[in-house]
Amino acid sequence: MREETTRNPDDPNTGQTSTLARKMALGSAVGMAATGVYLVSRLLLVPIILFYVSLAHYGLWSVCFIILSYAGMSAFGVQNVYIKYTAEYNVHNDVSSVNVLMSTGLTIMGMICTAIFGTLAFGSQLIMDGFHVDPKLQELAKVMILGTAAAFLMELWLGAFKCLLEGLQEIALARMVWLASTLLEVGLVVGLLVLGYGIKGVMYAYVIKTLFEMVLDTFFAFRRFKGLRIRPMLKREAFDALFVFGGKVQALGILGIFLGTFDRIVVTAMLGLNATGLFEVGRKLPFTARSVTGAAFAPFLPAASSLGHYWEESPWPKLPEKLGKYGRLCALTAVVSMAGAIPFLAMGLRKNGISVSDPYTWLLLICSLSILWPGIPLLRWFWNFMKGGERLVAEETKAIYLNGCRHINLINFILYAFILAAAPQLLLAWVGPGYGRAIPIIYLVGVMSFVHLATGVGTSIFKGVNRTGRELEATLIQLVLALIWIPGLAYLGGLLGAVAGTLVSMVVPSFYFIQRTNVAFRIPFREYCSRTLLPGVAALIAGALVFAGLRLMPELSRWWTVAEMLGFGGVYLVLAAVILKRWFLSPQEWEILLKPVMKFVGRFRGGKESPPEKPAL
């Protein structure tokens, strides 16, 4: 596959840039709206599920998806291949290459998914033993694992058609199909719970939802891509695309899924299913906001794949050079972690007293000496490494990156400033009293999610230009930090310690990746902050006012708290909008922000539809 792409100024495709921008904006907007509706329904669904099933059963449902996340590692890279190369082939009207890619991918993934299901069926007892599932729950757990696995693997197999739609920038359509299927699932969950099916009813609803979504995605893929032909096939050129570029993304997917579930694995193994259930409750609100923002990232990968670019100062590194770089980053991360462990070791020595026979004494000595060597040489290498490097020459892609980060960060500020300001009240309104221990989890996961989401535009773009190594660097740093800090702080501080360890392991590599991305585009740190972070001050000011106002309010019952949140939420949005318009947004940005609202109001004002818009020039 091509490592560099260039765009001929005389190419008629260059005139389609505005169309691409409109499709990206539509895809992001519809994706976030659909995800927002879905997640609101899910938030309402959680207290209903907890009313009908025990916390242990709810924790079992979470464990099922931890297992399936590892099964999903087999398709993560392949899905990104569908999107990337469909976008590239479609630009050149190469229908036959799309057919070969899709046919080969479906053939291979069909065989892989069949093998995975067989492995889970034969190894279900080992899985339950590994998660220390109560013997009384093991029969139920086996049914849950195999039932969810069948639906999940079907989605991995036939999800190729959804990826085809995304590669064609038909993201809005794919999201609407997804929303319809998930709303169907919500209705089925409620109905089956009322009928007494318990947690099995939640599984049955998930299976039906998956079948419904896959049928619709397949139908629309054939409708939107004329000439699509699927047949069993194994072609070398498609195989290379699936498992060369796909293999790189696959490695990232494996690490990402492991890191995304490692905290829950540690919590389940060390603290039990009840702690896992509490963790799920605590992280649900910030992860809801995270999912809304994450839905906006989909257009960036196919857009970066279809736009021209080339690299300056970019000799292709040899394998020993790559391994040396990754090794130094991991070693430096370990040294920094050892330095961070010194205060904890010192507190242990202060409690037990200094003794030559005490392991804390030797650990403290080793950690202190590691700062001198290899710490200082590694820091010198890191300083030089971060100062320069290859440059991505792609002005259109750079503009997409900066504008995307600006809008994504603004959305994150608006969502998370309110969640953090009103966390106790939101939790009470959502699941009722008795879950106060989850409030600190909301704070920690909220900060962690906000920082991590700032990397989403960059990771999508670098997948599109086939530079996944930069994401791998950050992922390896996260891996080292997670292996050290999550179990370590869980041992010292229980559930909150595990969450704090997750925060450390995610925030540090996120800052690293943002800086690496800015260096590639030659964007100064000050410019990045002023362009992408400054508008968020409006949300922080509005959030601070809401926080102060809520502290003056008396404690209310659950349902009055729901009304309180609706009222304060409306005030918060008005305050944030006024501050944004007055000090932070340009007239063009304000018009773009206000346009969907005015269109909605105009359509229903007086029961009349608004007049049709003039076509864009």
pLDDT tens for each residue of 160-194: 999 999 888 888 888 889 889 988 998 999 999 99
**Closest Cα partner for 478 from 614, 334, 339?**
334
Answer whether residue 4 shows pLDDT above 50: no
pLDDT band at residue 66, thresholds of 50, 70 and 90? confident
Q: Count other C-beta atoms under 10 Å from residue 28's C-beta.
A: 24
Answer whether residue 113 shows pLDDT above 50: yes
Q: Which two tokens stand for residue 374?
A: 């290899």
pLDDT tens for each residue of 205-228: 999 999 999 999 999 999 999 889
Per-residue pLDDT, 598 = 61
Q: Count other C-beta atoms under 10 Å from residue 548's C-beta.
A: 10
pLDDT tens for each residue of 71-80: 665 555 678 7
Per-residue pLDDT, 576 = 93
* CA pseudo-torsion sign 552, 554, 558, 563: negative
Minimum mean pLDDT range among 247-261, 298-312, 374-388, 409-423: 247-261
Q: Which residue(s) pair with 282 in the sheet?
A: none
Q: Which two tokens stand for residue 226?
A: 């004329």
Answer whether residue 250 shows pLDDT above 80: no
Among all chains, which residue has been given the structure tokens 């079948």?
211
Q: Which two tokens stand for residue 53?
A: 């099933």
**Closest Cα partner for 257 from 74, 408, 79?**
74
How far is 207 from 229, CA to CA, in rounded Å? 27
How far is 13 from 318, CA to CA, in rounded Å? 35
pLDDT tens for each residue of 517-570: 999 999 999 999 999 999 999 999 999 999 999 999 998 888 899 999 999 999
How far is 594 from 600, CA to CA, in rounded Å? 10
Q: Which amino acid is at 467?
A: R
pLDDT band at residue 17, thresholds of 50, 70 and 90? low
How far is 45 from 43, CA to CA, in rounded Å? 5
Per-residue pLDDT, 612 = 39
pLDDT tens for each residue of 276-334: 889 988 998 898 888 888 878 888 888 888 777 777 766 667 778 888 999 999 999 99
Per-residue pLDDT, 305 = 83
Find the Cα–Cα–Cα–Cα dihedral 178, 180, 185, 186, rounded to 10°. Answer: 110
Per-residue pLDDT, 27 = 72
Maximum distance among all alpha carbons in the chain? 84
Q: What angle do CA 453, 455, 457 make, to 5 degrees?
A: 100
Please report which helix (H) or strand (E) contains residue 294, including its range: helix 273-294
Per-residue pLDDT, 544 = 96
User: With contact defined as beta carbons under 8 Å apart, do 293 and 412 qualify?
Assistant: yes
Question: Which runs of consecutive H residues, i.e. helices, occur in 432-554?
Answer: 439-453, 456-464, 469-521, 525-532, 536-552
Average pLDDT over residues 467-483: 93
Q: Structure pTM? A: 0.76
**Closest Cα partner for 262 from 446, 482, 506, 441?**
482
Residue 95 or residue 138, greater confidence: 95
Please, what's the b/e burial string for 300-338 (b: 16 or more CB within 10 A of its CB; e: otherwise)? bbbbbbbbbbebeebeeeeeeeeeebeebbebbbbbbbb
Q: Where in the chain are the domains?
A: 75-250, 325-385
Answer whether residue 256 shows pLDDT above 90: no
Per-residue pLDDT, 368 = 92
Q: Which amino acid is at 614?
A: K
Over pLDDT 90: what percentage of the chain? 39
Residue 600 or residue 379, greater confidence: 379
Answer whether residue 115 shows pLDDT above 50: yes
